[in-house]
Amino acid sequence: MEFIKRSSLSVSEKLEVFELWNNEYPEKLSYKEKGEFDTYLKNLMEQSHILLVDIDKKIKGWYFDFKRENEKWFAIILDSEIHGKGLGTKILELAKEKENELNGWVIDHNRDKKKNGELYNSPLNFYLKNGFEKSVIDRLELKNISAVKIKWRK
């Protein structure tokens, strides 16, 4: 596996991460059309990306961060085939090298289903093991997501 840093994504990379997003996140968070996903990405300020690619150059993981309201926010999506191999931790280590703080919303329950019908497993414990703190006051409760804010500081 190889980690590739980018300030922006190519058209083909966007298509691959769009598919990764729709396959690995809860179905309620999926994008129906790639154009919607492109619009989401276009509206993120000061983006950076880390792609995790296999020997065939297929994207198996994607980290991205961006600026929102003077805070650095991020998300990680890994193909479920590579969970538990330390690759998510490695992506976080690469991100932490260049940032002083990272914020994210994390689904903290196991009730949502992915597009393939499998349960979406909350990654909250993964982030706690990697030095993030869970907010006791900041929650996101929307029609399509129930999540808690997490934060990491150097």
Give the model confidence (pLDDT) of 89-129 as tens digits. 999 999 999 999 999 999 999 999 999 999 999 999 999 99
- What residues have CB less than 8 Å from 28, skipping those under 6 apart? 112, 144, 145
Q: How far is CA 58 from CA 9, 107, 121, in A?
A: 14, 26, 23
- What pLDDT is stored for residue 83 in this prediction? 94
Predicted confidence band of residue 26 (pLDDT cuts 50, 70, 90)? very high
Question: Residue 36 corresponds to which amino acid?
Answer: E
Predicted confidence band of residue 23 (pLDDT cuts 50, 70, 90)? very high
- State pTM to two decimals: 0.93
pLDDT in tens, 47-85: 999 999 999 999 999 999 999 999 999 999 999 999 999
State how far Cα 67 lies from the chain centre. Answer: 14
Q: Is 74 helix (H, G, I), strand (E, B) or coil?
A: strand
CATH of the domain at 114: 3.40.630.30
Helix locations, the chain, DSSP H: 11-24, 34-42, 87-98, 124-129
- What pLDDT is stored for residue 154 in this prediction? 93
Domain around 128: 2-153
Predicted confidence band of residue 10 (pLDDT cuts 50, 70, 90)? very high
- What pLDDT is stored for residue 130 in this prediction? 97
Q: How many structural domains does the chain have?
A: 1
131-154: average pLDDT: 95
Convert 70-80 to b/e letters by CB count within 10 Å (16 or more is b): eebbbebbbbe
